[in-house]
């Protein structure tokens, strides 16, 4: 599929904290056709470092398709011959410098000053991400969604949708997530952002757009990349191979293992299209995740939608026990809930790269 990037605009948006943001612009993509009664829409919410690019390619020459391309498309588990599938970039999207991403956040121009917001941009929450998506849904004239689904932070958004707008969807598929961000993950998220804050080039968030703290941002993305994967992946891919043949890391400080240089290279490429302040805002949004109106796990019991919760036992971000507890809390409220495990070598990222074996289960769940 060749995908067209579209823009949704709101003259103003008031955050859950009561702050006003003017001229909100977010990018969105869709796959398939909305039917006459607008009843076949499936919303896909993206993960922490993801974008609205869930499937297809922006151009034929693109090397990689969207992250769930194995699931979304004609005849696939999320069948675009049957469903209208759409996804939007969140506020404060990490990839603010990617030409295919349209987002509003600290790197955006404040219409009141003509300069980028920096840390003057209001803090936002997962609930705010869902609220902007709700505005897009209303704009499209969709009264009820066939399903809401997404991995990781997309799963948090899915749970927020189901708790805040319980009568607006038939089904949800939260993937590699849980109903709360616990103390362990709060601390890890803080470490994700710490290298940026420690970089003198950060300048308390007041860096020029062409002088962002790349050293801190790159190191932050190394931490994100490593934690989102698994030692099975690292051991299988690299073992103890030297980065340079014959350059034994035991002989010099600047001799490295291949595992180090690959993770560093991935982070360096991602840093080119990312924004440091946006990463910090995403960290805060995830740390403060509140699933519903009261901001407690009890809000999971407000969910009415049929639920298929997919989790990975190898996940090092959202522990499997937390995912299972989330499913139990939703079921306690009376909703129909089933779970399934995602297995693979990628840990948390199994929810992106090891989903194909779950395709038939997802197809059946959406069709039931």
Tens digits of per-residue pLDDT, 152-192?
999 999 999 999 999 999 999 999 999 999 999 999 999 99
What integer pLDDT is reported at residue 296 of this predicted model?
73
Q: Does the annotation count 53 as an active-site position? A: no
Cα separations in angstroms, 359 against 2, 151, 365: 22, 14, 10
Catalytic residue among 46, 53, 278, 348: 348
Q: Does the annotation count 315 as an active-site position? A: yes
Q: Above 90 in pLDDT, residue 294? A: no
DSSP-derived pairing of the beta strands 169-175 and 306-311: parallel
Q: Does the annotation count 146 as an active-site position? A: no
**Mind spelling out the 3-state secondary structure of the chain?**
CECCCEEEEEEEEECCCCCEEEEEEEEEEEECCCCCCCCCEEEECCCCCCCCCCCCECCCCCCCCCCCCCCEECCCCEECCCCEEEEECCCCCCCCCCCCCCCCCCCCECCCCCCECHHHCCCCCHHHHHHHHHHHHHHCCCCCEEEEEEECHHHHHHHHHHHHCCCCEEEEEEECCCCCCCHHHHHHHHHHHHHHHHCHHHHHHCCCCCCCCHHHHHHHHHHHHHHCCCHHHHHHHCCCCECCCCCCCCCCCCCCEHHHHHHHHHHHHHHCCCCHHHHHHHHHHHHCCCCCCCCCHHHHHHCCCEEEEEECCCCCCCCHHHHHHHHHHHHHCCCCEEEEECCCCCHHHHHHHCCHHHHHHHHHHHHC
What integer pLDDT is reported at residue 24 of this predicted model?
98
Catalytic residue among 128, 199, 299, 315: 315
What integer pLDDT is reported at residue 160 of this predicted model?
96
Rounded CA separation 304/299 (Å): 11
Q: What is the pLDDT of residues 90-128, one digit of tens each?
A: 999 999 999 999 999 999 999 999 999 999 999 999 999
Q: What is the mean pLDDT of the chain?
A: 97
Q: Above 90 in pLDDT, residue 1? A: no
User: First vs last Cα of the chain: how many Å apart?
Assistant: 26
Domains defined for the chain, CATH in brackets: 6-181+289-367 (3.40.50.1820), 185-282 (1.10.1740.110)
For range 318-339, the mean pLDDT? 97
In terms of pLDDT, which residue wins out, 343 or 296? 343
What integer pLDDT is reported at residue 297 of this predicted model?
78
Q: Above 90 in pLDDT, residue 208? A: yes
Cα separations in angstroms, 72 against 22, 174, 244: 33, 16, 39
Q: What are phi and psi of 12, to 5 degrees?
A: -160, 155
Catalytic residue among 88, 108, 152, 274: 152
């Amino acid at each position: 599929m060749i995908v067209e990037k579209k823009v949704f605009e709101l003259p103003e948006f008031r955050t859950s904290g009561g702050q006003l943001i003017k001229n909100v612009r977010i990018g969105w993509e869709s796959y398939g056709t909305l039917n006459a009664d607008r009843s076949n829409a499936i919303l896909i919410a993206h993960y922490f470092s993801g974008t609205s690019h869930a499937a297809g390619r922006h151009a034929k020459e693109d090397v990689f398709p969207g992250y769930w391309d194995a699931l979304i498309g004609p005849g696939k588990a999320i069948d675009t011959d049957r469903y209208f599938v759409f996804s939007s970039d969140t506020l404060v999207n990490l990839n603010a410098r990617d030409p295919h991403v349209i987002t509003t956040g600290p790197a955006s121009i404040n219409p009141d000053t003509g300069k980028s917001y920096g840390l003057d941009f209001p803090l936002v929450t997962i609930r705010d991400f869902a609220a902007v998506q709700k505005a897009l849904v209303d704009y499209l004239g969709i009264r009820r969604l066939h399903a809401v689904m997404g991995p990781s932070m997309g799963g948090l958004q899915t749970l927020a949708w189901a708790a805040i707008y319980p009568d607006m969807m038939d089904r949800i598929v939260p993937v590699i997530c849980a109903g709360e961000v616990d103390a362990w993950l709060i601390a890890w998220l803080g470490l994700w952002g710490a290298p940026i804050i420690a970089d003198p080039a950060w300048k308390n968030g007041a860096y020029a757009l062409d002088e962002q703290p790349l050293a801190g941002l790159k190191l932050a993305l190394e931490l994100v990349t490593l934690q989102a994967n698994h030692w099975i992946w690292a051991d299988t891919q690299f073992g103890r191979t030297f980065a340079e043949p014959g350059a034994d890391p035991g002989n010099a400080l600047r001799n490295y293992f291949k595992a180090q240089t690959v993770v560093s290279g991935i982070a360096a490429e991602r840093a080119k299209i990312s924004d440091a302040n946006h990463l910090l805002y995403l960290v805060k949004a995830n740390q403060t995740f509140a699933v519903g109106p009261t901001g407690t796990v009890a809000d999971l019991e407000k969910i009415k939608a049929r639920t298929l919760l997919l989790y990975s036992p190898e996940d090092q971000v959202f522990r499997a026990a937390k995912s299972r507890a989330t499913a139990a809390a939703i079921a306690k409220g009376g909703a129909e809930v089933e779970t399934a495990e995602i297995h693979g070598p990628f840990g948390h990222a199994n929810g992106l790269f090891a989903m194909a074996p779950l395709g038939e289960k997802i197809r059946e769940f959406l069709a039931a």
